[in-house]
Structures are given as structure tokens and as C-alpha cells.
Structure 1
């Protein structure tokens, strides 16, 4: 009985940690929308600052937990070095920028839901790569994702878009870059662990984007509220939920964590509608439900040998 009670407590703690992490990620998108639309900040500037500060803090925590020199070892091998640079630029930087650009062009709810098409794209890519027909779960997920996306971007009005073409482009680009970010670094993660890889990917991405959006060249309006919102995105929208999610994997299964991570788009949608007054009709809610159900189906499908990356140890925006 005691063992059963202890196991239940551990699982409850794991569930709570994932839900808190996913909720923070969802709220960070809504906070970013406020900075873009209300205070005039640019997505590129916010992403460069977010990646640099969060990446440095994450690596500092890794260095404190282990030896300070251990985080530098990843750069000694030429192949690891090249993969890390590619991950930082075409993975971390790309997925963060496209996501925030989609928020800037539309709203946090739409951007988050469009990014959650990434798992569907991963399933399609793996089916093509392995030269096999999609499973029942994958086929149902793809169909639901297509229906959900159509309802989301048209509002149920046939071929007429309810969001701009720019927003649709950045949203779909965010899903594509998420798929790359998930699949590409499997080898790096196995060799060095998620904290070290993601920390350096953030720093690389932040440094790369700083050439276009230097952190010291601010276009937005600083105020007490905007400073708090920026700190929230860095600390409570990046660093803390990342650790909560990773730590939860000691207590619950990755499949359970992936399912609970669907709290993120739900939180982003509710926060955008209630807090920011984003118009969301019946068609948009049905579309959101279809996309979230897609992620649930793909998480529930029987596990087969497949290549995974950071998404196996953290959710989408998590590094959203």
C-alpha cells in the first residue's frame, strides 16, 4: 500500500510539473503578443535576447551541476561542432523566430496551434523515409490536422482566409522548423544530453540573430510592465518550464508528458481570447480541437523505432 501511495504521489508530481511547464509556455506566447502589438517590440530582438540570456543561464546551471569545463567538451569534436552550429541556426533560431513572427502577424493562439502541426509533419516525413504506409493513428492525425488547419485559417468561410498570408506562412514555417529541430539532433542528445545541447543551441542561435537584431538596439517602448514581460518570457517562458518538463520525465513516461503538454496550445488559446480579446469563433475552436487531437493520437500510437530529438525530452515551444 505504501509503495502504491508513493508511486501515485510521484506520478501526480510529474503530471503537475508538466502542466505547469506547458501552461508557462502557452502564456509566454500571449505575453509576447502584448509586447509586439502593445509596446512595439520586434520579434527578432525579443528572440535574440531570449535565446542569449536563457542559453547562458542554462549552461551556467549545467556547469554548476557538473564540472565547468564539461560544457566545453562538446566543441572538441568536429562533427559535433558542425551539428551544433546547424542546430543552433536552422533549428533553435529558426523555430523561435518563425513562431514569434507568426504571433506578430496574427496572435498567440493561432501561432501556437499552427506550430503544433509539427508532429504531423514528422510522422509524414518518417513514413516517407522508412518507405511505409502511415499507421492508422498517423493517417487519422494527418486528416484531423488538415481539417483543423483549414477551419483555423479560414474561420469556416470556405477558401477565404481569416488570417493574413504572412501569418499563415510564418505559422507553417514554424511547424516545419519544429520538425527539423525535433529530428535533427538525435545523435547530439544521446552523446551530450538535452541541457547541454539545448543550452548551446540557444547561445548559437542568439549570437547568430544578434547580427541582424543586436540586443542593444531596441525598437520597442520600455516600461515597468514591458520589462516584467520580457523577464517572464526568459525565465518563466523558457528556463523554468524547460527544467520542470525534463525533471518530470524521472516520474512519468515520455508519452504521458507529451499528452499533458497539449496544455500549451489550450492555454495560449484561452489566454489570447480571455486576456487579449482575440476573436475565436466556433470554427476556430473546432479547428483547435482537431489539431490538439492530432497530437494526442500521435502520442498514443504504438512506439516503433524512430529518430527523435529534443521533442522526446521537451515539448514544442518549450524551447517555447
Structure 2
């Protein structure tokens, strides 16, 4: 019996490490969003246009999933459709708009750090919308993250401006994505379904806006390699990382997987320094570290709480 248990442990161990590797790779892919968006901004695309290019292009690609998800879509109630639509417009469209505005204004590093204030906002929204209790430890981590935000606003060029506000709003929208999804459908919904509806609702809304067609007309007039950045936004920065993260959740608890998503801001900061020459003041790196520490510890606290309740 002992020998059998030892052998059977290896596949479990391997699956765990594979899941961790998938989460880290997904986070690295998400971390490229700021790089691709910065390059496209240099070709004259605004934050709103970057959102269009990301969401609409991803929506077109995701149409390939429609035959596989149709039976789940048919089973949704009108209330669930409405809830998923709100989740999409706030959590995907809203987050993308504010995030790309922050990237254009502040740079990729500070923008992704401000995005990771989402756990702080999720505390309040979870208490308000899901009736979840805010612990003393969670409150202290929220304070640490707030201090981190304050430090990222310091430095030679950083100051309180619309870019800072946009970065914080991207964190608000990002936090609402998870909270609204949980309130809409609980924990039993298929992850591909939520991802599909999240992108598709926002893409459908954008298709009714003249700016969408003007944006793609502007893209068509640019050199062909520019399309590579758009593919980067939609495939490398959106679809591929979600697919990796979804597969990782088959091997890891969500709370544990979320710890490794902090490779996203680390990737964004490193790539911004190497490829874009966007350096930060030391005090800003300290602030970003505070935000990331708060995010990691928040995930660990949730993981321990879930283990204690089982």
C-alpha cells in the first residue's frame, strides 16, 4: 500500500507543477498588454481605440467557440443574461478602457500596478454585494496597498492626474468582474462560458459604434506588421492566457493560482524597462512592491480560509 501511494503521488505532484507553470505563463502573457498597447499608441491609437482593437478582435476569434457553448447559452435565464452583460461591460470593456488610458498616461509599469489594487476594492464589493465579512488582516492588507498606491504617485514625473485615476478605476472594474460573475452564476458555471460572454457582449456593443469601423480603417492604412501588435493584444494578451489559466484551474485551487498571477505586473515592469526604456523612481518601485505584497498575501489568506472551511 505504501509503495502504491508513493507512485501515485508523482502524477499529482507533476500536475500541480504543470498548473503553476500554466498560471505563470498566462500571467506573463497578460503582462505583455502594456507593451503592445504602447507600440500601437505610437501609431496614433487612443486608449479607447486600443480597447476596440483588443475586445472586437478577440470577440471575432472567440466565435469559433460558439458551437461548443451553445447548449450552455440556451440554458441561461434572462436574469443571468443581464448579469453577464453587466459583468462584461464593467469588467472587460470598462477595465480595458481605463487600463489602456493609464498605460498611455503613466506607462506600462505603474498602470499594471494600479490594476492590481483590485483585491482592495473586491473587499468592499464582496461585503456589499456578497455579504462577505472583512477580516482585520484583510483590512491591514488593504491599507498596505493604499500606501503602495500613494508611493507610486511619487517620483520625478508621477503626480496625481487622470492617469492615476484611470489606473485605480481599472482596478475597480477588475474587482467587479469576479464579484459580479460570482453573484450572477455562483461557482458552478463553466469558465469558458463566462469568458465567451464577457468578451462577446462588449464586442457586440462596440460593433454599433462608428469609432470601431474608423479604428479598423485607420489600422488598414498602416504597415502590415502593425497588425502583429493587434494580434498580440487579442491572442497573446487575452485569449491564450485565459486558456492557460483555465487549464491551470483544473490542477490548482483558484486562490492558490491567483498568487502566481503577480508575474503579470513583474513582466510588464521588466518589459517596459527593457523594450520601452520606461524607468521608475526607487520610491515608485517600493510602492509597486507594497501593492504586490498585499495582493499575494490576500490570495494566501483566502487560500487558508478555504482550507479551514473544508
Decide whether aligned partners of structure 1 residues 134 and 90 sit closer, same or farther in structure 2, where only a CA change above 3 A counts.
closer
Given the alignment of the two structures, is residue 58 of structure 1 paired with residue 54 of structure 2, yes or no? no
Provide Cα deviations, 1:108-147, integer angstroms capped at 9, x if missing partner.
1111110110111112343566888742431231121111
Where do 5+ consecutive residues of structure 2 fail to align? 1-5
Decide whether aligned partners of structure 1 residues 216 and 42 sit closer, same or farther in structure 2, where only a CA change above 3 A counts.
same
CA distance in 2, matches of 1:243, 1:210: 25
Question: How far off its partner does 1:189 sit?
Answer: 5.6
CA distance in 2, matches of 1:212, 1:260: 37
Tell me, yes or no, if the aligned pair for 1:44 and 1:213 is still in contact at 8 Å.
Answer: no
- 1:164-175 aligned at under 5 Å gives the runs 165-175=161-171
Tell me, yes or no, if the aligned pair for 1:188 and 1:197 is still in contact at 8 Å.
Answer: no
Tell me, yes or no, if the aligned pair for 2:255 and 2:302 is still in contact at 8 Å.
Answer: no
Question: How far off its partner does 1:280 sit?
Answer: 0.9
Count of paired positions? 296
TM-score by length of 1: 0.84
CA distance in 1, matches of 2:70, 2:35: 37
Question: How far off its partner does 1:279 sit?
Answer: 2.1
Structure with more of its chain in helix, by fraction = 2
Given the alignment of the two structures, is residue 39 of structure 1 paired with residue 43 of structure 2, yes or no? yes
- 1:199-218 aligned at under 5 Å gives the runs 199-212=196-209, 214-218=211-215
Q: Give the SS at the match of 1:41.
A: coil
Provide Cα deviations, 1:263-316, integer angstroms capped at 9, x if missing partner.
0011111111121011212111111110000111110114558xxxxxxxxxxx
- 1:1-320 aligned at under 5 Å gives the runs 1-36=6-41, 38-61=42-65, 63=67, 66=68, 69-70=70-71, 72-73=73-74, 77-127=77-127, 134-155=134-155, 162-163=158-159, 165-186=161-182, 187-188=184-185, 190=187, 192-212=189-209, 214-218=211-215, 219=218, 222-302=222-302
CA distance in 2, matches of 1:228, 1:94: 24
Q: Give the SS at the match of 2:225.
A: helix
Decide whether aligned partners of structure 1 residues 101 and 194 sit closer, same or farther in structure 2, where only a CA change above 3 A counts.
same
Tell me, yes or no, if the aligned pair for 1:45 and 1:213 is still in contact at 8 Å.
Answer: no
Where do 5+ consecutive residues of structure 1 fail to align? 306-320
Tell me, yes or no, if the aligned pair for 1:54 and 1:238 is still in contact at 8 Å.
Answer: yes
Decide whether aligned partners of structure 1 residues 45 and 257 sit closer, same or farther in structure 2, where only a CA change above 3 A counts.
same
CA distance in 2, matches of 1:102, 1:209: 21
CA distance in 1, matches of 2:166, 2:205: 19
CA distance in 2, matches of 1:171, 1:262: 16
* More displaced stretch, 163-172 vs 240-249: 163-172
Tell me, yes or no, if the aligned pair for 1:119 and 1:295 is still in contact at 8 Å.
Answer: yes
